[in-house]
Amino acid sequence: MIDKLEQIKIVPVVAIDSAEKAEPLADALCAGGLPCAEVTMRTDAALDVIKVMSRRAELLLGVGTVHNPDQAQAAIDAGAKFVVSPGFNPRTVNWCVENKIPVFPGTSSPTDLEMALEHGLDVVKFFPAETIGGVKTLKAFSGPYGGMRFIPTGGIGPGNVKDYLALPCVLSCGGSWMVKPDLLKAGRFDEVQRLAVEAVALAADAAAAPPLTVNTPLPG
């Protein structure tokens, strides 16, 4: 699971209101070279969407915006393979750990990271990334928490995703720019595919660039 996320580099964060659009969305992401999605529990259709999208064997499918163990179990039963939460809920994390489900709780402070270490985690979500300092904050965290890997999400798009992916501590990035709700609502899956192709290219460019380190000055 971790290796796949690191290879894919970008996780589309999806809020979709109709299970009828789940199959064409899965088709568009896979055709665009981005076989991954985090379906958030922000809509009533989320579990049905997960059921449909999970039929695609090549699609690495997770569930996001999970607030409690009941939501996590419902999503896993529907076909999700990993769990993402906006914050660190010990009950949710404990349930996932006990059931051997990969979980990436949201973190935004050293206290959150200490809790992650206490629960045996070495990969966490960093959220809301841009609001809490973005790349600069992650560079600061990577000193005292050198063994922790991050999945930054929140405010990430084509203009800054390469800055995040250049950090060795970043496993992959979550973003919604290629799966914006207005595109899904309008059925613009051709545009979803095009943006997925562009996202893959951005990730490839970042992989080819020299990595940033704790002591590397930031651009500008």
Strand arrangement of the beta sheet that strand 149-152 belongs to: 149-152, 123-126, 103-107, 82-85, 60-64, 36-40, 10-14, 173-175
pLDDT band at 210 (very low <50, low <70, confident <90, very high): confident
Q: What are the structural domain ranges in the chain?
A: 2-208
The residue that leads in pLDDT, 116 or 210, is: 116
Q: pLDDT per residue over 92-149, tens digit each? A: 999 999 999 999 999 999 999 999 999 999 999 999 999 999 999 999 999 999 999 9
pTM for the structure as a whole: 0.93
Round to the nearest angstrom and report the end-to-end CA distance of the chain: 35
pLDDT of the residue at 183: 97
Contact residues for 158 (Cβ-Cβ < 8 A; gap 6+): 177, 198, 199, 202
pLDDT at residue 217 greater than cutoff 60: no
Q: Which CATH number is 2-208's, of 3.40.50.720, 3.40.50.620, 1.10.620.20, 3.20.20.70?
A: 3.20.20.70
pLDDT of the residue at 97: 98
Q: pLDDT per residue over 52-68, tens digit each? A: 999 999 999 999 999 99
Q: What mean pLDDT is predicted for residues 137-166? A: 97
Q: What is the set of active-site residues?
A: 38, 125
- Three-class secondary structure of residue 106 per DSSP: strand
